Amino acid sequence: MSLVDLMIEQLAAARHIVEDHGAEVIPAWRITTPEGAYLIFTRFDPDKPEQRERALLLISRFMIWKMATSFVLTAESWLGPEETRSGDEALLVVGVSRHERFALLQRISRGDNISFGTAEWLMPEQVDETYFRLLPGGASEITVEEIAELAVIFGKDGEMAAERLS
């Protein structure tokens, strides 16, 4: 399945969560590695930026450990100032591989009925560069101690359990 196909599939899953359950979308990472694909949810308090930074660091280290070749991130986001959360809500899907960088956004209107705007493909410069730097590029080192720590964090009962999809 192509990166774009995975992104569209993930957007549909996120829409289902919002539309059918009225729930907030927890950031979900579908990470492709030589040994198969993994799904990881990264819960964090948006009012605590250090939690977001830690989640991004751990995901980055996981991708180095597993030699990731691509990922698709699906999340719910605010389009206005982060401090006030006063803009539109949207679903954001970011897809990155060694040769591709895509982002897809779909606005959410929550009123008496939930509705969605048209899905919009974004230009790479419209997306936080941090996401595009997460995928390991070139040689990276990881210690035996760090592998043991990551195995606990991303293990079955870990803080960010990585579910093997394939």
14-63 confidence digits (pLDDT tens): 999 998 887 889 999 999 999 999 999 998 887 888 999 999 999 999 99
Higher pLDDT, 113 or 95: 95
Count Cα neighbours of 67 within 13 Å in the Cβ-side half-sphere: 4
* Stated length of the chain: 166
Tell me the pTM.
0.89
Tokens representing residue 65 in the block = 């450990």
pLDDT at 149 over 70: yes
CA-CA distance, 160 to 55, in Å (whole number)? Answer: 9
